[in-house]
Structure 1
Amino acid sequence: MAIITLTTDFGEKDYFAGAVKGAIYTELEQQVRIVDISHSVSPFHISEAAYIIRNAYNSFPKGSIHIIGIDSEFTPENKHLAVLLDEHYFICANNGILSLLASEIKPAKIVEINIHDKLQSNFPVLDVFVKVASHLARGGTLEVIGKSINEIKYLKEFEPIINTDKNQIVGHVIYIDNYGNVITNISRKLFDQVGKGRKFKLSARMVGFENIHESYSGWINFEQEREKRGVEDGKKLALFNSAGYIELAIYKSNPSTVGSASTLFGLELRDTVTINFQ
């Protein structure tokens, strides 16, 4: 049975996500399983969507088909792609999101979808992307629905910057999760490559860190009696998260009551995060 996932900025209020699912079932009847990865991506936010799908897709079986409905309106500058990457299929707009997904793994095949003349649509995720996903789910090939290309839109501005002295990394906030934790685009791999074990200070607006932990509770000394440890909830920390990126958090925060890293640190998407090594 084919698996088709959906990652969009449609939200939960409107009919869009439901209509896409209905169209897939109409095409494939009972021969498909549809999985919602997220419909709560911030509108048109490419790097946020890339972070979500990049860290979700490899939990699915090889051959899964991933529809990404972010900034997908078809224009001369925003063509549509179908891609075979890491033995998974991705269907998305050529708006730079693929370059963020494929930063470390080269796509095996890329085609520019060319079936638009056969469809009347102002909702390409519903019509074009569903047709392509259904074709692939039936075992069809990429070459049937598009022409092979080698170049894709590349978003270099989302990469961290390393200075010439190799003692500073300047990154950005790329995602804020449900707990209000702030995820940067600085990976553990990059941190280790540049830092080489040196002491450092991480700065983001008015907050600073000199340690990065392995988990949310990594800073707690569990050998010490609980009564002597003092209040633990609400402590600020930096950690390498499960996706391998530096994350800034408040221990056991609740954004709706006591606040979160995003609100208490005053950090929003695309804000700067700097690491200076000594």
Structure 2
Amino acid sequence: MAIITLTTDFGEKDYFAGAVKGAIYSELNDVKIVDISHSVSPFHISEAVYIIKNAYKNFPKGSIHIIGIDSELTPENKHLAVKLDEHYFICANNGILSLIASEIKPEKIVEINIHDKVQTNFTVLDVFVKVACHLARGGTLEVIGKSIQDIKYIKQYEPTVNSDKNQILGHVIYIDNYGNVVTNISRKFFENVGKGRDFTIRARNTSFSSIHETYSHAINFNVEKDKRQEEDGKKLALFNSAGFIELAVYKSNLKTVGGASTLFGLDYLDTISINFE
């Protein structure tokens, strides 16, 4: 059974996500549709990339991923279908592919050219669904587009190291549903620069001198519960499941104890520094 995933900024209030699913089932009843996320911030390409890059690898090879972010067809925003890492991606040529493919070269890229055969003012619903169902039936990319090499590139924010090799400067690239703050500093980058040295992570007025492996690793469970320091709301840094340094609050809740983003005053692209001793 073919798998088609959906990653969009449609939200949950409107009919858009449901309509896309209905259109897929109208063409293929023997298909599995998986919602990766419909809560991407509107038109936020970097946020969508973080979500899809860390989700798609868990799906079987051959899965088809529709990305409905900034997808309206314009002369400057054509549509692409891509085979990458034995998966298929359908998205707009707005720079999103350049970030998804930053580490793995696509096997094939085509610019979708079936628009004259499909009447639409909702391209994800009509064009992207048609392409996804074509691929799900075993169709080839060449049938729905012309092969291209050049795509739109956008700058990917990378952490930097100073000339003395004792400071990393990174940025916030994602804020999750709990308010936890994900940086663009990977474990590998941190370890290559740090080489085991002591360090201090600084984010505005908040600092950290250790990095945990999990959220609960920050809690000393050898101490009786009633004798531990306050757990909910405890600040911590950790290597998250995607392999990046994340600044978090233990059992955060944006409606009660708050989250790292609100408590630390951090937002997208804010600077994070790590100083080594």
Common topology (TM > 0.5): yes
Secondary structure of the equivalent of 1:23?
A: helix
Consecutive unaligned residues of structure 2, counting only runs of 5 or more, are: none
Give me the whole-angstrom Cα distance separating, in 1, the residues matched to 2:168 and 2:153. Answer: 21
Give me the whole-angstrom Cα distance separating, in 2, the residues matched to 1:92 and 1:162. Answer: 34
Secondary structure of the equivalent of 2:218?
A: coil
1:155 partner letter: I
| Cα deviations by residue, 1:159-205 (Å, 9 ceiling, x for unpaired) | 22333443332222122111111111211121122222222221111
Query: What is the match of residue 79 of structure 1?
Result: 78
Offset of 1:152 from its aligned partner?
2.2
Query: What is the match of residue 120 of structure 1?
Result: 119
Offset of 1:210 from its aligned partner?
1.5
Give me the whole-angstrom Cα distance separating, in 2, the residues matched to 1:159 and 1:76. Answer: 30
| Residue 169 in structure 1 maps to residue 180 in structure 2 | no
Give me the whole-angstrom Cα distance separating, in 2, the residues matched to 1:277 and 1:145. Answer: 52
Query: What is the match of residue 131 of structure 1?
Result: 130
Give me the whole-angstrom Cα distance separating, in 2, the residues matched to 1:193 and 1:152. Answer: 32
Give me the whole-angstrom Cα distance separating, in 1, the residues matched to 2:161 and 2:95. Answer: 22
| Cα deviations by residue, 1:19-61 (Å, 9 ceiling, x for unpaired) | 1111111111x12111111101100111111111111111111
Give me the whole-angstrom Cα distance separating, in 2, the residues matched to 1:222 and 1:138. Answer: 52
The 5 A counterparts of 1:18-57 are: 18-28=18-28, 30-57=29-56
Query: What is the match of residue 200 of structure 2?
Result: 201
1:37 partner letter: I
Query: What is the match of residue 12 of structure 2?
Result: 12
Q: Is the 8 A contact 1:82 1:113 kept in 2?
A: yes
Give me the whole-angstrom Cα distance separating, in 2, the residues matched to 1:135 and 1:166. Answer: 51
| Cα deviations by residue, 1:43-87 (Å, 9 ceiling, x for unpaired) | 011111111111111111111100000011112221111111111
| Residue 3 in structure 1 maps to residue 3 in structure 2 | yes
Give me the whole-angstrom Cα distance separating, in 1, the residues matched to 2:7 and 2:101. Answer: 17
**TM-score, normalised on structure 2?**
0.95
Query: What is the match of residue 224 of structure 1?
Result: 223
Q: Is the 8 A contact 1:6 1:34 kept in 2?
A: yes
Consecutive unaligned residues of structure 1, counting only runs of 5 or more, are: none
Secondary structure of the equivalent of 1:237?
A: strand
| Cα deviations by residue, 1:203-259 (Å, 9 ceiling, x for unpaired) | 111111111111112223333343443222211100001111111111112111121
Question: How much identity, in percent, do the aligned residues show?
Answer: 79
Q: Is the 8 A contact 2:183 2:244 kept in 1?
A: yes
Q: Is the 8 A contact 2:180 2:261 kept in 1?
A: yes
Change (3 A) 1:94 1:24: same
Query: What is the match of residue 160 of structure 1?
Result: 159
1:15 partner letter: Y
Give me the whole-angstrom Cα distance separating, in 2, the residues matched to 1:223 and 1:84. Answer: 50
Secondary structure of the equivalent of 2:128?
A: helix
**TM-score, normalised on structure 1?**
0.94
Q: Is the 8 A contact 1:160 1:186 kept in 2?
A: yes
Alignment root-mean-square deviation, CA: 1.5
Q: Is the 8 A contact 2:167 2:273 kept in 1?
A: yes
Give me the whole-angstrom Cα distance separating, in 2, the residues matched to 1:252 and 1:259. Answer: 9
Q: Is the 8 A contact 1:47 1:158 kept in 2?
A: no
Give me the whole-angstrom Cα distance separating, in 2, the residues matched to 1:164 and 1:230. Answer: 40
Work out the number of aligned pairs and report it: 277
Offset of 1:11 from its aligned partner?
0.5
Query: What is the match of residue 95 of structure 1?
Result: 94
4+ aligned runs moved over 6 Å, structure 1: none
